[in-house]
Amino acid sequence: MKILYTLLFVSTVCLFAADLPVRTVILYKHGVGYFERSGELKPGEAARLEFKAPEMNDVLKSLTIQDKNGGKVTGLRYDSSEPLDHKLAEFPFKVETEKASLSGFLNQLKGARITLKFGADLLSGTIMSARVAAGDEKRPEREQLVLLLDSGELRTLDLSAATSVQFGDAAMQAQLRDYLRVVAASRSQEKRSVYIDSVDAGTRALSASYMIPTPVWKSSYRLLFKETGEPTLEGWAIVDNTTGEDWDKVRLSLVSGRPVSFISRLYEPKYVQRPTAELAEDRAVGPQVYEGAMDAAKSLAMVPSAGLAAGVGGGGPVGRMMKAGSGNRAPSQTVTVMAEPMQMDSSIASSASGRELGELFEYRFSGPVTVKKSESAMLPFLQQKIGARKLLIYSDASAQHPMNAAELTNSTGETLDGGPITVFDANAYGGEALVETVKAGDKRLISYAVDLGTRITTAFDSSTEAIREIHASRGVVTTRQAARETRTYTVVNVDKKAKTLIIQHPVRYGYKVLNQKPVETTSNAYRFEVKLAPGVTEKFPLVEERELVNSIMVTNFNTKDLIAFAQNKVLSAAARNQLEQIARTKQGVADTDAALRRISTEIDNIFRDQERVRQNISNLNQVSGQQEQVQKYARALAAQESQLATLRDRQNELTQKKAALESELNSMIEKVEF
């Protein structure tokens, strides 16, 4: 009876599921919208919400339910989804989506009974194999089936000749139909239903809110200049209803800003790859070979402590960790207990209208709004006076004319969402502009037309000054010099009215402006204001300077360059004296090194000459009557040895002198400071 009652209750809920109409819509700038539905449900009635399949991830992430009568919602049910590959994995075959062939499909069903029709003949049997036979010059490629007939005969059949194929097993036919149905269903974008169940017997006032993907709402403005007085700014919001149902007299709000939003795949079932584990008892036990004991006194097994033998942690459920200081457990041991589930009511926080919400601002329409499904609406959300002044702006150095522009000061008290602005001047179309989001009290420049009554040319000049400063410390000389550039803007106002020109000059890294002060600076440009009288020509020179800093190791200077560098007028007498001393010492090192190279050359030459003399003596000793010549060569060798001794002494003296000079030079370079 209990089972029958449950089945009847579920059937009643599904049969009498009620739709909750949309009451509130809040659209954002980052691709989602907030929707709130509410309505009364009769006793035993469930609520049903319908969504598109791609919307389910956001619905499951944001859905909130509230029963205004204090009732309890027992749960939610919805049409589940499973990845296509998991669904198809249940079938004993696979139909390839590309290059599919009948033989490839039948080859997966080896052992299945099949009936083929060839004209008026029927052949039945069991599938052994199927393949695509390669073609040749005489016969094209063809599909073949090897069938074991009921008579026991094996026959190879040409599948292209068969007019029909039928499985003998009804279950196999049903599986194929189910397979194709699953594939077809995966391509559909049908609706998904969410059911809200409750066991309350009374009438309920139920409210459900959620976020789903929606088109971004857009804003556009009209700036109306009059002959006198402040201009008027009109703002229009463009919204698109693509939800598939009417928004009938809903409370509509538009939020300017971009909160963080992302897609989390909650609707599609998620599977985790689990590790494979086996019990040790499942493995076969092999023979073991035991070694003899080396020392019986040291072979005693260690006895586990009581705490380890007891098994710390028990095996209870994992939850909150807490210290245990009593019982058989040691004070340092821990035991786990299941934490109590936290009770939290789910409720929707209402949005505040007409005020800043951090970086967000909400435009809430005072009256109900109706937008039919698959339609769009254009709704006015702003009409106020705004602070603005007309001027010209010149930001493109390659252009001849500046742009007609306006400086807007947001005095509306509300955030102005970014969008296009159409400008009307004295009831005539003046041009169009784009503006980014402007907070209350902030200012923006907009340009909307080319001013043909003003011409601008630019002239460029540059120069590099000599070294301004020279500093040295710990062997490094640092020089500073300046590169100066002048750009002169020549502005011709041919109209018979005064104008205000804003010159927007790019900020360049390392450069600073010397002769002008900008009225304001952006992240990448200076803005200079120039007043133009009627029919005059104005010149606006702009001088910029960049310091060039160069560091050089003193050891990298050769003597000639160091002496020339020491003559720089920027240097003090003390600094010049230090550099000249370093140059003289450096020259001494170079001269000593040159002398050493000369001595090394002389020694090498003597060595080569001695080798020649010794070779001659060796040859003459083998010839009779050459003793006098041998003695002559011997005396020459003795003289060369005496000369070598003198050169080696001189070489040692120069080596010591060079080492001393290098040590003195390194000390001087290390101590140089000015």
- Arithmetic mean of pLDDT, 301-325: 37
Q: Which range, of 98-107, 575-584, 638-647, 656-665, averages the lowest pLDDT?
A: 98-107
pLDDT at residue 166 in the model: 86
Q: Is the pLDDT of residue 473 over 50?
A: yes
Q: Which of 81-85, 277-281, 513-517 has the highest mean predicted lDDT (pLDDT)?
A: 513-517
Q: Of residues 359 and 230, which shows the higher confidence score?
A: 230
Q: Which range, of 297-306, 471-480, 504-513, 600-609, averages the lowest pLDDT?
A: 297-306
pLDDT at residue 215 in the model: 93
Q: Which of 37-46, 268-277, 285-294 has the highest mean predicted lDDT (pLDDT)?
A: 37-46
List pLDDT tens digits, range 16-43.
467 889 999 999 988 899 999 998 888 7
Residues 573 and 666 in one domain: yes
- Arithmetic mean of pLDDT, 273-300: 59
> Which own/partner contact pairs does 593-599 have at CB distance under 8 Å and 24+ positions apart?
593/658, 595/654, 596/651, 596/654, 596/655, 596/658, 599/647, 599/650, 599/651, 599/654
pLDDT band at 326; cut points 50, 70, 90: very low
- Non-local CB neighbours of 169 within 8 Å, separated by 6+ positions: 112, 113
Q: Which of 57-71, 345-359, 645-659 has the highest mean predicted lDDT (pLDDT)?
A: 645-659
Amino acid at 319: G
- Arithmetic mean of pLDDT, 330-342: 36
Residues 577 and 519 in one domain: no
Residue 649 falls inside a structural domain: yes
3 state DSSP class of 3:
helix
Q: Of 552, 574, 593, which one is at a domain's C-terminal end?
A: 552
- Arithmetic mean of pLDDT, 489-511: 92
Burial class (CB in 10 A: 0-12, 13-18, 19+), 536: exposed
Residue 479 near residue 469 (C-beta atoms within 8 A): yes
- Arithmetic mean of pLDDT, 566-570: 80
Q: Is the pLDDT of residue 504 over 80?
A: yes
Render 40-55 in DSSP notation, one character per residue.
EE-TTPPEEEEEEGGG
Distance CA 73, CA 67 (A): 8
pLDDT band at 83; cut points 50, 70, 90: low
Residues 576 and 667 in one domain: yes
Percent of the chain, pLDDT > 70? 81
Residue 460 falls inside a structural domain: yes
Percent of the chain, pLDDT > 90? 24
pLDDT at residue 195 in the model: 85
The tokens for 128 are 């052994």
Q: Is the pLDDT of residue 8 over 90?
A: no
Q: Of 552, 568, 597, which one is at a domain's C-terminal end?
A: 552
pLDDT at residue 491 in the model: 94
Residue 211 falls inside a structural domain: no
Q: Which CATH number fits the domain that encloses residue 135?
A: 2.30.30.520
Residue 391 near residue 504 (C-beta atoms within 8 A): no
Q: Is the pLDDT of residue 348 over 80?
A: no
**Antiparallel, parallel or unpaired: β 360-364 and 247-256:** antiparallel
pLDDT at residue 192 in the model: 78
Element (H, E) at 19: strand 18-19
pLDDT at residue 15 in the model: 41
pLDDT at residue 501 in the model: 94
Residues 650 and 574 in one domain: yes
pLDDT band at 652; cut points 50, 70, 90: very high
Structure-derived torsion over alpha carbons of residues 433, 439, 441, 443, reported in degrees to the nearest 10: -30
Residue 618 falls inside a structural domain: yes
- Arithmetic mean of pLDDT, 258-285: 72
What's the structural domain count of the chain? 3
Residue 181 falls inside a structural domain: yes
Residue 646 falls inside a structural domain: yes
DSSP H helical ranges for 455-572: 559-566
Residue 170 falls inside a structural domain: yes
List pLDDT tens digits, range 176-219.
888 887 777 666 556 778 888 766 667 788 889 999 999 999 99
User: For all residues of the chain together, what is the average pLDDT?
Assistant: 79
Residues 629 and 591 in one domain: yes
pLDDT at residue 82 in the model: 66
Q: Is the pLDDT of residue 291 over 70?
A: no
Element (H, E) at 278: none
Domain hosting residue 172, numbered range: 95-186
Q: Of 552, 572, 602, which one is at a domain's C-terminal end?
A: 552
* Widest pairwise Cα distance in the chain: 147
